[in-house]
Amino acid sequence: MEIVEHPSRFFWTFGNHENLPMYRRIGKVSTGGVQGNALWLEKWHNWYDSDECVDRMADLGLNLLHCRCYKGMGWEYEKDDFPRVQAFAERCRKRGITVLAYVQYATLYHEIMRKELPHVADWAALDENGKPYDYNGQYWRWMPCPNRPGFVEYIEKVLKIIIESGSFDGVMFDNMVDFPCYCPDCRKKFVEHIAEKNWDFLYPEFVSMPPVLPIPDELMDPVAIEFVRMRHNSIRDAFMRFRKVIKDINPDAIITGNFPMLPRRYSYIYGSNVASVLAPALDFTLGQSASNPGLDGTNSVVSQVYAYKLAHSLHTKVVPLVDSDAGGPAGSGSAKSNEVYIAQLCESLFNNSIPVDRIVMKPTRGGGLDQKVIETRRPILKRIQEIAKKYESILDLPEYAPVGLLYAEDSVGLSKASSEAFLRCQESLLRANVPYRLVFARENFIDEAEMNLCSTLILPDVRCMSDRVLEVLRSYKGELVMAGRENGGCDENYCQRAELPLEDLPARRVEITPHDVSKAMYYKFQIFYEKDNWAELFPTEAKIEIDTVAHAVFKQSPDGKIPGVLISAVTSVPGGTITLPEKFRAKEYEFVTVEGTQAAVFNGDKVEIPPFAGMIMLCAK
C-alpha cells in the first residue's frame, strides 16, 4: 500500500470532515476553528465542496484528507448529504488527492438518531449508575457500547454503503475509545470472562463490576485487571469486524483511525484505546493529541516523537494530528513561528510519517481562506515537498537504533511506578539523542526480532513481566541494563514473585533521572527534563552531539550504511557534531535545509553541523 510504504509522498490537510448539523448543534467554535453557529457557515461549507477549493489544495501540494461522511446521527438522516460528499470526493480524486471517508465510532446523536432508531438508548454505554455516558460533557452525544446487540452491525451497514459506493480511497474512524460500561450485556460478558479464569476464590455469577475511577496508582485487584482486559477485547473485536467488512469489499481500501498513540495509563485502564489492541485493525493510525511541537518552559520539549517511537515498536505508522483539530492558531508568519512549523512538518517526514497542515485550509470569519498564511506557508510547503521527493529513498529507510528500551504494555498500564520509570528513561534517551528504539512486550509476547537488533537493552523498572518474557530476556545476547530495582518482581497480572528473577544475570545498573512526568498522562504529552549524563552512559558508534531540544533520526540502509541523519528542532540550534565511523559512511554528503544545500566535509569520522532553525539533513549525495 503506497501510503504505508511511501508516506513521504503524502501531505495531509483539513477536509471539512464535520457536517452542518454537527456545527449547528455544538454552536461554538469547533473543528477547523469554525464558529458552529455562524450565519456564513453554509456558504463556506458549500464553497469547501467546490472545484475552486480542491484546486487550492492541489496547488499547495496537499494530497490527502478525510472528508465528512458519517457523524453518528443515523444514516437515514445523513444520507441526504451523501451525494454531495461523493461529488467532493470524486473532485478531489480527479486532482490526485486521496480521500478517506470520516466515520464516527464513539457517538450516538440521540436527539436526531431516535427518529430513525427509537431504541437508540439500548446502544448506549452506561455508567455505574446506569446512566448513558455523555461524550466528554456534550450531553447531546452518548457513548455507544460495542457489546450491545445491533450497534456494531449498524456501523457495518454504514461502512458497506460507503465502500460499495466506490467514491472513496478508504475510511478514517474517529474516536476509537470506550468508557467502562456497566450495561447488562457487558455484565453478562464479564461474568463469562471471569468464569474462564477458573479462580477458586469467587463465584463468577456473583462477581462485582469494579469501579475504574479514580485510576489506582498500582492496579493489583485481579477482577479490575480482568475488567480492563475484557474491554480491550471488546473494542478490538468491533474494529476487527469493521476491518473485515471493508476489506471484503475492497482489499485496497485504506483503513485508519484516531486514538492517542501515547503510552498512557488512562488509555489502558479507562479509554480502552491501547496501541497494541487497536493498531492491528488499521493500516496505519492517526494519533490526535494536543502535543503540538514547541518549547514549553525551558526544560520541556513537546513533540510527536513519543508517538512515532511507540508506533514503530508495533510495526505500524502514526500520523499525529496535533493542531487542536485544525482549529489552532495559524502562526504569525514570523521567523520564530516558521521554525516551529518547519520542525513539525519535518518531525513527521523524518519519522516515516505524513506531514500535516490542516490550518492552512482553515476559514477566516465570513468563510474565506487566510491569504497571508497561505503566502507565508506556500514556499515552505513547496520546498519540503521538493525535499520529500528528492530524498525519498532516504526518508523511507528504517532507523539505526542499537539501544533498546523495553516497553512492556501491561507493566506501564498496571503500574504507575513502571510507567514513570519508562517515561523517564525514554526522556533521558530522547533528549540525549541516543539512537534508541522501543522493544514491545505484552503478556506472553516480546518482540524478539526487534530485541535482537539492539546491542543494549534497558529494562526501565518493568515490574510486571510474564515467565515467557523473562525466559526470552535470559536468552538475550547483548548488554542488559537494569534501571530501577523491581524488574520482573511480578508477573503480568501484578502478582509478586518469591524472588527478583533477573538478579543472577550480568547486567549493568543505571539510576533513573527523576524528570517530572506528572503531565505525561493527559491529552498534551509533556515531560520536564532534568539534565543528566545518558549520552555518556549509552555511547553508540554513530552518534550526534547537539542541543537537547533537537531530535535526530539516523537512517540506515540494508547494507548497514547511514545515508541520512535528519534533525528537527523547534528553535534555533547553534550547530553540533555528527560522528559516523567509516563503515557507516557513504562517499559524499551534503547538508540540506529549507534554504538550500551546502557542503558537508568530514574531518576523520566527524562532521560539524552548521547552525540551523527548524530542520537540517545530512544526506548522502
Sign of the CA dihedral running 14, 19, 20, 22:
negative
3-state secondary structure of 129: coil
Instruction: Count CA within 13 A, CB hemisphere, residue 392.
Output: 12
Beta strand 284-286 pairing with 254-258: parallel
Nearer Cβ to Zn ion (180/404): 180
Asked, as a colleague might, if the bond just before 214 is cis with ω within 30 of 0, I would say: yes
Closest to Zn ion by CB, 233 or 452: 233
CA atoms within 13 A on the CB side of 141: 17
Note the helical H segments in 271-370: 275-278, 305-313, 335-350
- Smallest separation, CB 324 to Zn ion (Å): 31
- Number of Cβ atoms within 10 Å of the Cβ of 10: 19
CB of 145 to Zn ion, least distance (A): 3
Residue 181 Cβ vs Zn ion, minimum distance, rounded to whole Å = 3
Q: In the structure grid, which three cell numbers stand for residue 139, read together?
A: 450531553
Site size with Zn ion, rule: CB under 5 A: 5
The 112-151 site mask, x for binding Zn ion (CB under 5 A), equals ---------------------------------x-x----
Q: 26 vs 20, 181, 233, 253, 277, CA distance in Å?
A: 10, 25, 32, 31, 31
Shortest spacing between CB 122 and Zn ion, in angstroms: 10
Rounded to the nearest whole angstrom, what is the least distance from the CB of residue 182 to Zn ion in the complex? 7
Least gap, CB of 72 to Zn ion (angstroms): 17
CB of 243 to Zn ion, least distance (A): 21
| b/e burial code for range 236-262 (CB count within 10 A of at least 16 → b) | bebbebbbebbeeeeeebbbbbbbbbb
Least spacing, CB of residue 154 vs Zn ion, in Å: 15
Q: Is 236 left (phi over 0), alpha (psi -120 to 50) or beta?
A: alpha
Q: How far is the CB of 195 from Zn ion (least distance, A)?
A: 18
Stretch that binds Zn ion, among 4-12, 23-31, 132-140, 176-184 (CB under 5 A): 176-184
Q: Which of residues 187 and 336 has its CB atom nearest to Zn ion in the complex?
A: 187
- Which residues in the 554-613 window bind Zn ion by CB under 5 A? none
Separation of alpha carbons 476 and 454, rounded Å = 10
Pick out residues in 228-267 that bind Zn ion (CB under 5 A): none
User: Angle 335-350/371-390 helices, nearest 10 degrees?
Assistant: 40
Length reported for the chain? 621
**181 or 319, CB closer to Zn ion?**
181
Q: Are 616 and 591 in contact (CB under 8 A)?
A: yes
- Asked if residue 16 lies in contact with residue 54, where contact means CB atoms within 8 angstroms, the answer is no
Judged by beta carbon, residue 238 or residue 473, the one nearer Zn ion is: 238
- For Zn ion, what does the binding mask look like between residues 144 and 163, x meaning CB under 5 A? -x-x----------------
Task: Kindly write out the interface string for residues 180-219 of this chain, putting x where it contacts Zn ion by CB under 5 A and - elsewhere.
Answer: -x-x--x---------------------------------
The footprint of Zn ion (CB under 5 A) covers: 145, 147, 181, 183, 186
